[in-house]
Amino acid sequence: MSDHHTYKKVEVVGSSPTSSDEAIKNAIAECGKSIKNMDWFEVIETRGHIHNGQIGHFQVTLKIGFRIENS
């Protein structure tokens, strides 16, 4: 058995009309459909669209780290 692991990070943008935390959760839920072993996330940027003078969507860029299978 190896004494170390290797991880990969992907950069995604989650969005939500409700809140910035919800945007993070949406991004993680979407990535969970295709990525196994998700381990941590890092918020890179928070921004959003304004529609008719109100927040249309929060848009949160995050990196998601996951262990490479069998590493």
**Number of residues lying near its own copies (CB under 8 A):** 51
Report the C-alpha gap between 23 and 29 in whole angstroms. 10
Q: How far is the CB of 47 from its own copies (least distance, A)?
A: 4
CB 38 within 8 A of CB 31: yes
Asked if 32 touches its own copies (CB under 8 A), the answer is yes
Whether the Cβ atoms of residue 34 and residue 66 lie closer than 8 Å to each other:
no
Using CB under 8 A as the criterion, which residues of the chain lie in contact with its own copies when the complex forms?
A: 3-17, 19-21, 23-32, 38-43, 45-50, 53-55, 57-58, 61, 63-65, 68, 71
